[in-house]
Structure 1
Amino acid sequence: MRYAVIGAGGMGIQYGVLLQEFAHKDVDFIDTWKPNVERIREQGGAYVSQDGEDRHLVPIDVYYPEEYTGDPDVWIVFLKQMQLDGVLKRCAHLFNDRQVVFSAMNGYGHFEKLNEYFPKDRIYGGTALIGAYVYGPGDFNFTGGAHAKAMNLCSYADEATEGVKAAEQALFEDFRAATLNPTIVDNFIGMCMAKIVFNSVLNTLCTMYQIRFGEFEAHPDSRWLTEQLVDEAYGAAEAAGYQLLGTRETEVATILHTAGVAHPLHYPSMYQDLTKGRPTEVDYINGYIARIGADHGYRCKLHEFLTREVHLAERAFAIHNPEIVAAAQAEA
């Protein structure tokens, strides 16, 4: 299958480059961040490294939405939740009923937006325990080696027809060849909620205190903090009638293992947004958990608190670093 990635940031570049280098697939990239597009074109590709080592140039083809003329079999979408509406509108003329779309973005809300352009039986969701860091335009670092990567894959369709299963299997085989270590699951909302719970701990706390995953896990209270947030999030999900993948105990274990063993050097994408003067996705993560709970009579005081705390951190960063925020706004 031929792929096109919408969003040539850390995760989009990682998925596309791994599909290109290890699965030997044809991959195009679409991006709207002008400094990134122009730098990749100027240097003839994207510089990528693995855990800060083996930095090398990977030739890739990158386009703005308005100039792309390709017809991929699969779209891979990795954007910030706040960007999604605008970029999809710019890409809408490229979509057709032959294509399928896959996304493993953080937070929740993107599948309903993708459903405005693609029917449910052509949408595949995923969750990725896969790290990436953007040093700057055209320069990316992947964290965690091939054995540390893990992802889930699930159809968004209400019913898994033979066509749905065939496309899902084809994605699975390509992602496996690309060293992304996929697992097919059959509980879409449970899959998504489990990753939101994961992000609501590591992304949020590491961003607030500007630390790496491993630095969080090394703190003597990391397990206690994780258990409190996971318990409240599972309570909200249960109030809503959602059955998550795994239990409270397995979710806590996954978070701490990822932080301390699989990706200890990783800074979360929310941290990267904060320190580069961009809005974070906390409303789509901790804020989403709090809304799910509130909608079903379950108050999530911890997640409400953290949502407001991250917005306070955004404001504090803007006050003390106005030049960084101004530059981010100019590039947006």
Structure 2
Amino acid sequence: MTLRYTVLGAGAMGLRFGVLLQENAGAQVDFVDNWAPEVETIKKQGGVYVSRDHENRHLVPINIYSPEEYQGEPDVFIVFAKQMTLQDLLERSAHFFKPEKQYVFSGMNGMGHVEKLNKYFSKEHVLAGTCLIGTVLNKAGDVDFIGKPGAGSINVANETEKPDERTHEIIADFKAANLNPTLTTNFLGTLMTKVVFNSVVNTICTLFEIQMGQFIDYPGAERLSKQLINEAYDVTERAGIKLLNDRETEWKTVEYVSRVGNPLHYPSMYQDMHNGRNTEVDYINGYIYELGKKYDYEATTHDFLRGLVHLAENTRKFRQ
């Protein structure tokens, strides 16, 4: 029997997880969002419009609520908020948390969310992971799944690094939903492996307003990628964090996902920039740089890219 899920944050990835669990795994899924236009639009149109690679746009009925009106009692929360808005979402949702029996999974980009989740849920009930799944929120109530059915994969780890019975139930549902999960017992290494990936692809694609396939088409993509990867690995090695891949495998992952897996995808950081929102660069490249400083290492390329992204954010006010 599938578990009951509530997705906190009905953006691109939250919708993809929830819809696939609902449609493929037969799970009961509710959605809660603190972005009023998303809640109001989906309620008005009777569901969310879902496309795949810009085709076959159709309406999928879902249940969505603001945090204040939700009263459900799920077994598991799935959290996909932006790092900058997560605290607000958790505070407004705390009235329906029952942390003594509920579990929470988050596949958010960057670092910083686990500490916020731990204010409400014990480490024994927290799972987090990484998602190599391209999804775009075109506008409120309209999402595009990038890639063929079954495309992409996720890595999941318990914060305690000790999987329990509920963990295996969650993994079984994720498999049934065609999310291709892999369970690991390396919590920080799992999260930081995706941070390194995002620090290359998300940031560069955002700065040049390009798709992942357009980035990897550039003959110098390998050199640029390896410069960022090597700096990030220098940092994590000093911090005692063992990543899931070695340096060469991480580059091969960047190459494969960009060229084969999701060549048409604009990463989420680009989507934020394009839609006038602040990006999560401080939680990705900035996190790598700040972690390195703790161990007397200057990841200067990551810091430089962080500055360029903030410069691009600032210049939006001059555009007509």
Q: When the two structures are superposed, what TM-score results if normalisation uses the length of structure 2?
A: 0.98
**Which amino acid in structure 2 is aligned with residue 210 of structure 1?**
E
Q: State the match for 2:239 in structure 1.
A: 240
Match 1:157 to one of 156, 160, 171? 160
Q: State the match for 2:104 in structure 1.
A: 101
Equivalent residues, number: 317
Cα shift at 1:187: 0.5
Cα shift at 1:318: 2.5
Q: CA RMSD in A?
A: 0.8
Q: State the match for 1:266 in structure 2.
A: 265
1:221-270 C-alpha deviation (Å, 9 max, x unpaired): 11111111000000010111111111000000001100010000000110
Counterpart contact for 1:149–1:179, Cα < 8 Å:
no
Cα shift at 1:35: 1.2
Match 1:114 to one of 84, 98, 117? 117
Q: When the two structures are superposed, what TM-score results if normalisation uses the length of structure 1?
A: 0.94
**Which amino acid in structure 1 is aligned with residue 217 of structure 2?**
A
Q: State the match for 1:21 in structure 2.
A: 23
Q: Percent identity?
A: 51
Q: State the match for 1:227 in structure 2.
A: 226
Alpha-carbon distance in structure 2 between the residues aligned to 1:92 and 1:155: 22
Cα shift at 1:202: 0.4
**Which amino acid in structure 1 is aligned with residue 262 of structure 2?**
H
Q: State the match for 2:71 in structure 1.
A: 69
**4+ residue stretches of structure 1 with deviation over 3 A?**
none
Cα shift at 1:36: 1.1
Cα shift at 1:320: 1.1
Counterpart contact for 1:81–1:109, Cα < 8 Å:
yes
| Structure 1: gaps of 5 or more residues | 322-332
Match 1:140 to one of 138, 143, 147? 143
Q: State the match for 2:134 in structure 1.
A: 131
Question: Within the alignment, does 1:209 sit opposite 2:208 as a pair?
Answer: yes
Q: State the match for 1:186 in structure 2.
A: 185
Q: Residue 242 of structure 2 aligns to a residue in which SS?
A: coil
Q: State the match for 1:200 in structure 2.
A: 199
Q: Residue 220 of structure 1 aligns to a residue in which SS?
A: coil
Alpha-carbon distance in structure 2 between the residues aligned to 1:149 and 1:220: 25
Alpha-carbon distance in structure 2 between the residues aligned to 1:157 and 1:34: 35
1:163-205 C-alpha deviation (Å, 9 max, x unpaired): x421111111000110100001110000011000000000000
Q: State the match for 1:329 in structure 2.
A: none
Counterpart contact for 1:18–1:179, Cα < 8 Å:
yes
Which residues of 2 match residues 299-314 of structure 1 at below 5 A?
299-314=298-313
Q: Residue 65 of structure 1 aligns to a residue in which SS?
A: coil
Alpha-carbon distance in structure 1 between the residues aligned to 2:149 and 2:259: 17
Cα shift at 1:9: 0.4
